[in-house]
Chain A
Amino acid sequence: MDSISMDSNVLAPKVKNRYSSKRRKKLWFFFLMSLPFLIQVAIFYFYINGSSIIMSFFKYSYIKDSSGGVLGIERFWAGFSNFGDVFEVIFSAKEAGMFLVSFVMYAFILVVITPIVIFFSFYIYKRYFMSEFFRVILYMPQIISSVVWVALYKMLIDEVLKSITGAPTKVFDPANMDTLKLTVAMVGFIFWTGFGGNILLMSGAMSGIDESVVEACHLDGCNTTREFMHITLPSIYPTITTFIVLDITSIFTQTMHLFTFFGGSSPIKSVGYFMEINTLFTAGLTSVSGKQDYLFYPQLSAMGLLITIVTVPLAIGVRKMMEKLGPSED
């Protein structure tokens, strides 16, 4: 008995060491292999975001020599002055309309496009007449560049429709821009090119519904309408929630393809487009000449921070609300 217990004591430590040695090797491998990616995230997520937040509280100016040559750049604490500059610009008479454009676009996507997408996705999911053909066609706007669709859309609206209706001016004519017509045309473009891709995603989510549940529903005598209302919709509710939350996060980043249509001179602006052209055409941290035509990077960072502060709690709040209002697990 003593020899057996002595053998157990001899055995046990060796088993314990071997386990921890293997686990250590696994951890070493995990960290060594993931190191390049972790460094990338550390730099391009944490450092960039931290730097952007810090930048929004500073202003920059170039250090110049006597002949005007640049020797370097210095920054100085600006407090909330960048935020003040941003408020002054975005709520000016010239730019305030961009909020209306962004909200109109979001409202259109939420109220019009999302229900239509769900309604049409059911057709693809149930594999009705020509659904395979429609799946291929609906995917086409994702395959072909938006540059091509913009060119075709401009041709259709400005050349073809104008020839047919005999309208006096073109909708996209830089010399004769009607803001209302333009907004309607842009909304039409977003519907035309965005409709198909969302249908495919939603029908993909529907295809994840357990077939046995659907069969049981039919055995109990429910028709397609009841199946849609009581099985399909509740089953894809988490996907609908994800869509709505992602749409909220893009209210202020949606550029509406305005740059593709007009370059930097669109007569209507969304918040995302405003930020895009300012980022593109700005002199940078500051300008050498002192002239400012566009917001500098610190001011854009301040604007981005304000948008994030508004968007994140809104997205979380909407998600919580939708989870509360939605169907339960039962």
Chain B
Amino acid sequence: MKEKVIKNKASKIKEKVSPYVIIVGAILIIYAISLILPLVFGFMTSLRTKQDYLDNGVLAFPDFSYWASNKEANSIFGNAGRPVPFPFYDNVFGSYTKFFATGSVLVQQKYYCGWNMSVLVEYTSNQTFLDFVLNTVLYAGVSSVLAVMAPCIMGYLCAKFPNKFASFLYAFVIVVMVMPIVGTAGALLTLMKKIRLHDTLFGVWIRKITFTNMYFLIFYAYFKGLPDTYSEAAEIDGASFMRIMWKIYIPFAIKMITTTLMLQIVSTYNDYGINKLHLPSRITLAYAAWDFMTNNSSAEMPEKLAACLTLSLPMLIFFIAAKNKLMGNITVGGLKG
């Protein structure tokens, strides 16, 4: 008996230090370093002043002496006639201050809309940091809630009210997911312009109320697994279907709703593409960072990195706080049949 236990332990140790584990582990360590090191290096570069970067090149640590003599950050406030709030902060985080204080995106739009496409819409607006933050909250926040609740409610309805149409909807969602129809952006933009919802938050929100995605399948499977005894007991007590849904079954799914909501928030927060096509007049933080990085020829790398890292910092904090939920058990399974 003792020999068997020793043999089992030995084989487990042998498995854990096998060549496969050593090689793959080493590669994963290198990969992890390749992800962490650029972030750290990028952050340190973002703390350097523009002059420090130009004088000392890319492979240098921040030079403290440049911080002491940096007039640029202070001048953003000083030249505007406003008191410099935190001199030390403005020197160390000068690139960030510059992005907060002067980062802007010029939006120019000209297009025809209306049912006859005869109404000309033309405007120019300069969006600043506060606009970026507000637009991000409105877009990412509301869109995420709608994008999660739609498949949740439809998943519940199809799971708990089985009928032929519900079965059809389930099959339809799978077909939509595996059969992409390409090139519909033109038709979508034309429709949105015709009904005057192009370039509006409301137009973007309506498009998010869709259940033809993976989350519907996940919620459907979840609600299908919940027993009907709860609804039967509630019906006997006189509860309506609406009450049963909101007071009994949706609360059961609150953990899953929270997890999918977090995943959606991450996805919509990082989505800079929405501003390119569908919401050009409400610049989000993601688009502003991209624009600052790509189109700002006067900015050096520290300032560009500051804009990008400003975008990533809330997500990093969010991830550290909620990583267990974000990396939970939502997986992609195979589709059969």
Contact, CB under 8 Å: A37 / B209: yes
CA distance A145 to B191 in the complex (A): 30
B176 and chain A: residue at smallest CB distance = A45
In the bound complex, how far is the Cα of B307 from the Cα of A67, in angstroms? 46
Q: Tell me, in angstroms, the Cα distance from A253 to B181 when the chains sit together.
A: 10
Query: Contacts A27-B161, A145-B289: A155 and B312 contacting too (C-beta < 8 A)?
Result: no
In the complex, what residues of A have CB within 8 A of residue B333's CB? 205, 208, 238-239, 242
Flag whether A30 is at the interface (Cβ < 8 A): yes
Q: Distance in Å from the Cβ of A199 to the closest Cβ of chain B?
A: 9
Cα A288 to Cα B189 in complex, Å, equals 17
Stretch of B21-29, B61-69, B127-135 contacting A (4+ beta carbons < 8 Å): B21-29
Q: Is the CB of B180 within 8 A of A279?
A: no
By size class, the interface of chain A is 35 or more
> What is the chain A residue whose CB lies nearest that of B59?
A163
A307 touches B183 (CB 8 A): yes
10 other A-B residue contacts (CB within 8 Å) besides A144-B315, A284-B186, A311-B180 = A37-B150, A143-B326, A145-B286, A146-B270, A152-B42, A201-B331, A201-B332, A207-B331, A238-B333, A284-B190
CB of B264 closer than 8 Å to a CB of A: no
B142 to chain A, nearest CB (A): 15
Select from chain B the residue with minimum beta-carbon distance to A305: B183
The number of residue pairs between A and B whose CB atoms lie closer than 8 Å in the complex comes to 294
Write out the residue numbers on chain A whose beta carbons fall within 8 Å of the beta carbon of B250.
none
A224 to B161, CA, bound (A): 45
The complex places the Cα of A143 from the Cα of B270 at a distance, in Å, of 8
Closest beta carbon of chain A to B45's beta carbon, Å: 7
Chain A residues 215 to 274 lying within 8 A of chain B, measured CB to CB, are: 223-225, 236-243, 245-246, 249-250, 252-253, 259-260, 262-263
Q: Which residues of B contact A100 (CB under 8 A)?
A: none
Compute how far the CA of A144 lies from the CA of B43 in the bound complex, rounded to whole angstroms.
14
A194 beta carbon closer than 8 Å to chain B: no
B187 contacts A204, CB within 8 Å?
Answer: no
Measured in the bound complex, the distance between the Cα atoms of B276 and A166 in whole Å is 37
A13 to B36, CA, bound (A): 72
Interface residues of B (CB under 8 A from A): 15-16, 18, 20-21, 24-25, 27-29, 31-32, 34-36, 38-39, 41-42, 45, 57-59, 111-112, 116-118, 120, 150, 153-154, 157, 161, 163, 165-166, 169, 176, 178-191, 193, 206-207, 209-212, 241-242, 245, 266, 269-270, 272-273, 276-277, 286, 289-290, 293-295, 301, 304-305, 308-309, 311-312, 315-316, 318-319, 323, 326-327, 329-336
Known: A205-B333, A238-B334. A301 touches B294 (CB 8 A): no
Q: 1/0 per residue A5-46: CB within 8 Å of B?
A: 000000000000000000001110111011011001101110
B163 and A72 within 8 A (CB) = no
| Assembled-state Cα–Cα distance A298/B176 (Å) | 23
CB–CB B184/A304 < 8 A: yes
B21 and A51 within 8 A (CB): no
Q: Is the CB of A301 within 8 A of B290?
A: no
Q: Are A143 and B186 touching (Cβ within 8 A)?
A: no
Residue of A nearest to B285 (CB): A145
User: For B241, what are the chain A residues with a Cβ–Cβ distance below 8 Å?
Assistant: 25-26, 29
Point out the residues of chain B lying under 8 angstroms from A156, CB to CB: 38
> Contact at B182–A253, with CB atoms within 8 Å?
yes
Residue of A nearest to B111 (CB): A284
Closest CB-CB distance, B337 to chain A, in whole Å? 9
- What's the least CB distance linking A210 to chain B, in Å? 14
Chain B residues with CB under 8 Å of A34's CB are 153-154, 157, 169
The answer on a CB contact under 8 Å between B327 and A135 is: yes
Whether B294 and A263, one on each chain, are in contact in the complex, defined by CB atoms closer than 8 angstroms, is: yes
| Beta-carbon contact of B31 and A195 below 8 Å | yes
Contact B21 A129 (CB under 8 A): yes
Assuming the A-B contacts A36-B209, A128-B25, are A52 and B183 also in contact, with contact meaning beta carbons closer than 8 angstroms in the complex? yes
Closest A-chain residue to B288, C-beta based?
A147
The interface residues of chain A lying within 8 Å CB-to-CB of B154 are: 34, 37
Given contacts A30-B163, A142-B266, A147-B290, are A52 and B184 in contact (CB under 8 A)? yes
Question: How far apart are B69's CB and chain A's nearest CB, in angstroms?
Answer: 24
Closest Cβ of chain B to A186, distance in Å, is 16
Given contacts A45-B176, A140-B35, A308-B181, contact A123 B24 (CB under 8 A): yes
Whether the pair B294, A192 counts as a contact (CB closer than 8 A) is no
CB-nearest residue of chain B relative to A43? Answer: B191
Contact partner of B188 among A31, A37, A44, A123, CB < 8 A?
A44
Q: Which residues of B contact A311 (CB under 8 A)?
A: 180, 182
Q: List residues of chain B with CB within 8 A of the CB of A204.
A: 329-332
Check B183 against A133 for contact (C-beta < 8 Å). no
Do B187 and A151 have beta carbons less than 8 Å apart? no
Q: Judging by beta carbons under 8 Å apart, are A315 and B58 in contact?
A: no
Contacts of B41 in A (CB 8 A): 152, 155, 160
Instruction: Chain B residues near A146: list those with CB within 8 A.
Output: 270
Verify if A280 is at the interface (C-beta below 8 Å from B): yes
Tell me which residues across on chain A come within 8 A of B27, comparing CB atoms: 120
A148 within 8 A of B: yes
A312 to B117, CA, bound (A): 33
Contact B276 A284 (CB under 8 A): no
Q: In this complex, what residue of A is CB-closest to B120?
A: A70
**Known interface pairs A30-B163, A51-B187, A208-B333. Does A37 touch B153 (Cβ–Cβ under 8 Å)?**
yes
Q: Are A137 and B32 in contact (CB under 8 A)?
A: yes
Contact A139 B326 (CB under 8 A): yes
- The contact sample of 9 A-B pairs, CB cut-off 8 A, is A30-B161, A73-B117, A133-B32, A134-B28, A143-B315, A144-B270, A155-B45, A262-B294, A308-B182
Judging by beta carbons under 8 Å apart, are A33 and B153 in contact? yes
Residues of B within 8 A of A164 (CB): 59
Give the shortest distance, in Å, between B153 (CB) and chain A (any CB).
Answer: 7
Q: Which residues of B contact A307 (CB under 8 A)?
A: 182-183
Inter-subunit contact A51/B58 (CB<8 Å): no
Give the residue among B20, B211, B334 with the most A Cβ atoms within 10 A.
B334
Q: Are A144 and B290 in contact (CB under 8 A)?
A: no
Cβ-defined partner of A40 (8 Å) among B180, B209, B336: B209
**Given known contacts A137-B32, A147-B272, A148-B289, A300 and B185 CB-to-CB distance under 8 angstroms:** yes
